[in-house]
Amino acid sequence: MNAIAPVISAHPTATEMLRHLVAFDTTSRNSNLDLINFVREWLDRNGVFNRTSLSADKTKANIHAIIGPHVAGGIALSGHVDTVPVDGQAWSSDPFTLREHDGRVYGRGACDMKGFVACCLAAVPDLVAAKLTKPIHLFITFDEETTMEGAHTLMSDVGASGLKPSLCIVGEPSLMLPILAHKGRLAVRVTVRGKPGHSSEPGRGVNAVQAAAEAVAYVAAEARRLAAEGPFDRGFDPAHTTLHVGTIQGGTILNIIPELCEFVMEVRAIPSDDPHAHFAKFKAHIDAHIAPAMQAIDPSCGFSYEIIGDIPGMGLAEEHELATLTKQLAGSNSAGRVSYGTEGGIYEQAGIPTIVCGPGSITQAHKPDEWIAISQLDECDRFIRSLAGRMVK
C-alpha cells in the first residue's frame, strides 16, 4: 500500500492528482515502480481493469488501463511519466513538491507530461460512472525522454492482448491545440578508429579526428542541400528534413596522431521522408570516399555506428475522423505540425491512428521552475469529459 494513496479524495482535482505524481522522482535514470503502484492502486480503487508491461531489467513498467467495455476499439489517452533530470538547474523551490502561485503550478514534469496524466487519472471516477459504450484506454509509459522503450514494450503487450484501441491521443504539451504530425528522429553514435603515431610522420598513421571531420563536413553539406532543395512540408518549421552533429570528442595531445574520435549525429525527417535512407546515404559516402584511404594504411581502421535513438515520424491526414474529433473537442479550427518527436509515431506504426493534443507549452518543459497553467489543466479536464460524452451515445 502506497502511503500517499489514502489521502486522495474520491473526486480529486487534476491539481491534487498532479501533486502526488510530481512527488515521485521518476527521472528516466530511476525506477518508476513506486508511481506505477500508486496509479494502479487508484485504478483498482475505482474498479478499472489495468495491466502492466515491464522493462527488460524489470525496474520500470507501463500501464494499460481500460475504462468501459473490456474490449478492443475505442480511444486511448497516452502519457509518459518519466522526466528529464533537475541536475545543475537553479530551481526556486523543491522540484518534486508541487508549488502553486499566480495561476500556475511548478514542479518537474508538471508540464511534460504529468499534467496530462493527472487530468486523465482525476477524471477516472466520472469516466467509470459514465457507463461508456466504447472503451477509453489509458497508456502510461516509461523512458519517453530517452529510448522510448516503454512505448515499444507497451505496443508489443497491447498487440498480444487483443485489446488494441482504434485511435490514440498523446497528451504532449501543445496548449490543447491538435498536432497532426511530427518529424521522425534518428540519432547515431559514430566511432572512428585510426592508427596512432607521431605527428611528424602523418603518412605512417591514420588521423581519426580528420576522418571524422570529413564525415561531419558531409553532414553539414547535406543539411545545406536539404534546406535548399527539400523535399518540403510547409506545415513544419523548418519545412525540410534536417541533419546535425551535436557532440564530438577525439585526440589526446597535439603531437600524437589521434587513434579515436567519436561524434553523435541526428536526422530529423519530415513524415514523407525516411531518416534511415539519409543514414544509409551517409554510410555509403564514408565507404566510397573516406574509409578506403584509411584502410589502405591499416585495414583495421574505419567507422562503426550505434543507433541510440529512433523515433518514427507521425502523420495524420487532415480529413481523418480523429483529426475532426480532436478539433471539435479542443474547439480549434486548425491543426499544426511540430519538429520534436513523441510516442505517437510508435503507436501509428502499430496501426493506431494518433494525434497529439495536451495541456501546457513545450517551451515550459525541461527547464528549471517548469510550470503549467491551472487554466490549461482545466481545459484538458473539459476535453477529456467531452470525449467521454461522445462515447455514451
Catalytic residues: 82, 144
Is residue 231 reached through a cis peptide bond, with omega within 30 degrees of 0 on the bond before it?
yes
In whole angstroms, what is the distance from residue 234 CA to residue 240 CA? 8
Dist. CA 12–CA 203, nearest whole Å: 72
Distances (CA, A) of 353 to 142, 367, 381: 21, 31, 22
Question: Angle formed by the axes of helices 275-289 and 208-229, to 10°?
Answer: 130
- Cα angle 108, 112, 117 (rounded to 5 degrees) comes to 100
The residues, any chain, with a CB within 8 Å of residue 40's CB and separated by 6 or more, are 50, 52, 63
Beta strands 302-311 and 184-193: pairing type? antiparallel
Q: For strand 371-373 and strand 104-106, is the pairing parallel, antiparallel, or unpaired?
A: antiparallel
Backbone angles phi, psi at 314, to 5 degrees: -130, 135
Helix and strand numbers, DSSP H then E, in the chain: 11, 18
Estimate to the nearest angstrom the gap between the alpha carbon of 16 and the chain centroid.
Answer: 25
